[in-house]
Chain A
Amino acid sequence: MTPTAMPILTKKDFQTDQEVRWCPGCGDYAILSAVQAVFPELGIPREKFVVVSGIGCSSRFPYYMNTFGFHTIHGRAPAVATGVKLTNPDLEVWVATGDGDSLSIGGNHTIHALRRNVGIKVLMFNNRIYGLTKGQYSPTSEFGKKTKSTPFGSDSRPFNPLALVIGAETTFVARSVDVMQGHLKEVLKKAAAHRGSAYIEILQNCNIFNDGAWFYLTEKEARSEHIVNLEHGKPLIFGKNRDKGIRMNGLDLEIVQLGNGVRESDLLIHDEEYRNPAYAFMLAKMEELPGFPTPIGVLRSWGDIPRFEDTVNNQIKDVTEKRGVGEIEKLLHSGDTWEVR
Chain B
Amino acid sequence: MATVTEPIIKNKREVLDRAVVRFAGDSGDGMQISGSQFTNTVALYGNDLATFPDFPAEIRAPAGTLPGVSGYQIQFSSSDIYTPGDSVDVLVAMNPAALKMNIRDLRPNGILIVNSDSFTDADLKKAQQTTNPLEDHSLDGYRLFAVGLEKLTHAALEGLGLDAKSMNRCKNFFALGMAYWLYNRSLEHTYHWLDDKFAKKPLLAEANKLALKAGYSYCEATEAFQVSYEIPPAKLAPGTYRNLSGNQALAMGFVAAARQAGLRLFLGSYPITPASDILHELSMYKNYGVTTFQAEDEIAAITSAIGAAYTGALALTTTSGPGMALKTEAMGLAVAVELPIVICDVQRGGPSTGLPTKTEQADLLQAMFARNSEAPIPILAASTPGDCFWVAMEACRIALKYMVPVIILSDGYLANGAEPWKIPSVDMLPKIPVHFVTDPEGFLPYKRDPQTLSRPWAIPGTPGLEHRVGGLEKQDVTGNVNYEPLNHERMVRLRAAKVEAVAQDVPDAVPAGDPDGDLLIVAWGSTYGSITAAMKAPRAEGVRVGHVHLRYLNPLPRNLGELFGRYRKVLVPEMNLGQLLLLLRAKYLVDAEGFNKIQGQPFKVAEMENKIHEVVSQNGAGAKR
Contacts and interface: CB of A to CB of B under 8 A. Distances in A.
A50 interface: yes
A49 B462 CA distance: 10
Contacts of B297: 108
A341 B480 CA distance: 60
A42 interface: no
Nearest to B237: A340
B288 to A, nearest CB: 4
Contacts of A85: 307
Contacts of A88: 311-312, 459-461
B242 A336 contact: yes
B359 interface: no
Nearest to A90: B461
Contacts of A82: 293, 295, 300, 304, 307
Interface string A94-137: 00000000000000110010000000000000000000000000
Contacts of A149: none
A316 B286 contact: yes
A319 interface: yes
B304 A86 contact: yes
B107 interface: no
| Interface size of A as a range | 35 or more
B311 A91 contact: yes
Contact of B471 (A16, A72, A83): A72
Interface residues of B, number: 72
B267 to A, nearest CB: 10
A63 interface: yes
Contacts of B464: 47
Contacts of A331: 252, 255-256, 285, 288
Contacts of B46: 338, 340
Given A316-B286, A335-B242, A339-B240, A70 B470 contact: yes
A316 B467 contact: no
Of B259, B296, B423, B480, which is in contact with the most chain A CB atoms at under 10 Å from its CB?
Answer: B296
A325 B287 contact: yes
Given A73-B303, A76-B330, A83 B468 contact: no
A112 B256 contact: no
Contacts of A72: 303, 306, 333, 470-471
Contact of A337 (B264, B423, B468): B423
A83 B242 contact: no
Contact of B460 (A18, A47, A79): A47
Contact of B303 (A49, A80, A322, A333): A80
A196 interface: no
A71 interface: yes
Interface string B310-347: 11110100000000000001101100010000000000
Given A315-B286, A337-B423, A84 B307 contact: yes
20 contacts: A63-B470, A65-B468, A68-B460, A70-B470, A73-B303, A73-B330, A73-B333, A80-B306, A83-B305, A83-B310, A87-B264, A87-B313, A88-B312, A322-B287, A326-B289, A332-B252, A332-B424, A336-B40, A337-B242, A338-B44
Given A52-B307, A69-B469, A339-B241, 16 more contacts: A45-B463, A47-B466, A68-B460, A70-B468, A72-B471, A82-B304, A83-B306, A83-B311, A87-B266, A87-B313, A91-B311, A328-B255, A328-B259, A328-B426, A334-B242, A336-B243
